């Protein structure tokens, strides 16, 4: 190499800066290693550096505290519905949803010992609920213990033959556990949607979703219909609508709505502006590429 070439070559310097940026990108995810959240993070971006956190709240706070560039958290499951804590955190903090990932969930029973050794079955509460029938049929006398993540259950189970974890194949490999049973969830078609949260809205791609939260001015007949009608008149497809208590008054609700389109689309922005005048609160959580 010619002395000084790298230092003075703008093209080489730009490539170097790009790789430095990639190396600096840190994604917060639910840990420890082997979690479905880790799988979602790798599906979303294959070049990231991961930082693991104990629970959803810690993962979100890591972004707020600038410890990570993005955080990935579960928001809903096809069997058990939405994750209440994630929805609450989206309302409480100024966060932007910048992407989503759909992960197929396939639970396994993992242990160091054999089936007859097991006295404790551990997993994340959602995973335990998704495997309710299997647990009831096979562990009538065992203790069912909820923990913060499926991968944490696997890590704990690696320390004792009388403990088993409901977790992924990746967790079995990571923590040296035997797979005693595969696909133990109640329904095989089991998917979890993860959202990627950041601080800036990505530009429209042509295949986008927008997530909002709104609160009606007052609970009166037809109030929600008036809002939904605005979307219907503009032929805007709503992919999800869900109510959550405001935690202020009994019967007072927030509505979480996902719709097809991006706030850079004129028809979406005009409709949201019209709705804003009819509600007590409208919060745009983000516009982002829809999972394919």
**140 and 95 together in one domain:** no
- Check 86, 134, 194, 210 and give the catalytic one: 194
**Lowest mean pLDDT segment, chosen from 109-118, 152-161, 244-253:** 244-253
Pairing of strands 178-181, 49-53: unpaired
**99 and 113 together in one domain:** no
Overall domain count for the chain = 3
- Taking each helix axis from N to C end, the angle separating 84-92 and 56-64, rounded to the nearest 10 degrees, works out to 20
Domain boundary among 198, 227, 246: 198
**213 and 285 together in one domain:** yes
Predicted structure pTM score: 0.85
**39 and 24 together in one domain:** yes
- DSSP characters for 114-179? -GGG--EEEE-HHHHHHTHHHHHHH-SSSEEEE-S-HHHHHHHHTT-TTEEEEE-HHHHHHHT-EE
CATH number at residue 225: 3.30.70.260
* Structural domain range at position 141: 108-181
**13 and 91 together in one domain:** yes
In a domain, 186, yes or no: no
Distances (CA, A) of 234 to 83, 229, 269, 279: 30, 9, 11, 18
192 flagged as catalytic: yes
In a domain, 203, yes or no: no
**217 and 241 together in one domain:** yes
**89 and 113 together in one domain:** no
Report the Cα–Cα distance between both ends of the chain, in Å, rounded: 45
pLDDT in tens, 12-51: 443 334 434 445 689 999 999 999 999 999 999 876 799 9
pLDDT in tens, 58-77: 999 999 999 999 999 999 99
- Check 29, 86, 150, 192 and give the catalytic one: 192
In a domain, 187, yes or no: no
5 flagged as catalytic: no
């Amino acid at each position: 190499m010619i002395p000084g070439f790298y230092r003075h070559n703008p093209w080489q310097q730009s490539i170097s800066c790009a790789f430095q940026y990639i190396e600096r990108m840190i994604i917060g995810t639910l840990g420890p290693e082997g979690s479905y959240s880790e799988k979602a993070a790798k599906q979303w971006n294959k070049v990231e550096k991961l930082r693991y956190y104990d629970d959803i709240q810690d993962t979100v706070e890591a972004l707020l505290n600038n410890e990570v560039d993005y955080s990935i958290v579960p928001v809903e499951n096809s069997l058990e519905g939405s994750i209440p804590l994630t929805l609450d955190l989206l309302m409480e903090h100024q966060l932007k949803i910048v992407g989503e990932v759909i992960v197929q969930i396939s639970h396994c029973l993992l242990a160091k010992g054999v089936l007859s050794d097991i006295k404790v079955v551990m997993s994340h509460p959602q995973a335990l609920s998704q495997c309710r029938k299997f647990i009831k049929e096979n562990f009538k006398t065992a203790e069912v213990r909820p923990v913060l993540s499926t991968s944490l259950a696997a890590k704990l189970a690696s320390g004792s033959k009388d403990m088993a974890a409901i977790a992924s194949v990746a967790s079995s490999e990571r923590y040296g556990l035997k797979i005693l049973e595969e696909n133990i969830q109640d329904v095989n078609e089991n998917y979890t949607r993860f959202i990627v949260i950041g601080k800036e809205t990505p530009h429209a791609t042509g295949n986008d979703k927008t997530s909002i939260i709104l609160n009606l001015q007052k609970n009166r007949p037809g109030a929600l219909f008036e809002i939904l009608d605005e979307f219907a008149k503009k032929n805007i497809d709503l992919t999800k609508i869900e109510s959550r208590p405001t935690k202020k008054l009994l019967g007072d609700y927030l509505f979480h709505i996902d719709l097809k389109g991006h706030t850079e689309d004129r028809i979406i922005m005009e409709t949201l502006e019209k709705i804003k005048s009819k509600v007590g609160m409208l919060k745009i959580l983000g516009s982002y590429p829809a999972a394919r």
